[in-house]
Amino acid sequence: MKLTRPAAALAVALLGMTALSACAPGDDSAAADDAGTAQTQAADTADSGGSVAEPALGGDWSVTVDGATISIPDATVVCQEAAGGLSIAIAAPTAAAADQAIAVQLTLGDPPTVQAVAALDADRNALAYTEGTGMGSAEVAVSGSEYTITGEGLVTEIDNPTSMNTKPFEIVVDCG
């Protein structure tokens, strides 16, 4: 399955998250230490033969931002576990929803945490949350193969990037 346009839309949302995290106040040395630790842990996992699970096609999903439902026609859910984390992507291979995508990055610790959320809807609104930026919040609840991610993220219109507002979101995804 080829997801070139949704992947591009998701890349835009993820770049927005990166830009937002660069603007976040905080201790830069702590962020650098965390990045170095993450790289070391990733290298240790790779060196020790850490396994990467095959991607799983998920099932049902729903997303709301500020109470409004985001729908992506013919969307497919892909869930990928690797190195103690879970990546969730929701996108469609069709031209009808080529500029829409949703992505979530979780840690699978006890308790699991939300590292990042990105979404781009049909109206060209981008939602972004990145852990540790001090902008927004997110938490995850797990019930079997269902993940419920709730919180607040920054929402901006792609055509008017100065229009940032914090809005609540909920993402429910079945990765089973």
91-114: pLDDT as tens digits = 988 776 778 999 999 999 899 999
pLDDT score, position 158: 92
* Distance from C-alpha of 33 to C-alpha of 36, rounded to nearest angstrom: 5
Could you tell me the residue range of the domain that residue 170 belongs to? 4-174
Confidence of residue 17 (pLDDT cuts 50, 70, 90): very low
Q: How many domains does the chain have?
A: 1
123-169: pLDDT as tens digits = 999 999 999 999 999 999 999 999 999 999 999 999 998 999 999 99
Q: How many CB atoms are located within 10 Å of the residue 173 CB?
A: 24
DSSP per-residue letters across 1-28: ---HHHHHHHHHHHHHHHHHHHH--S-H
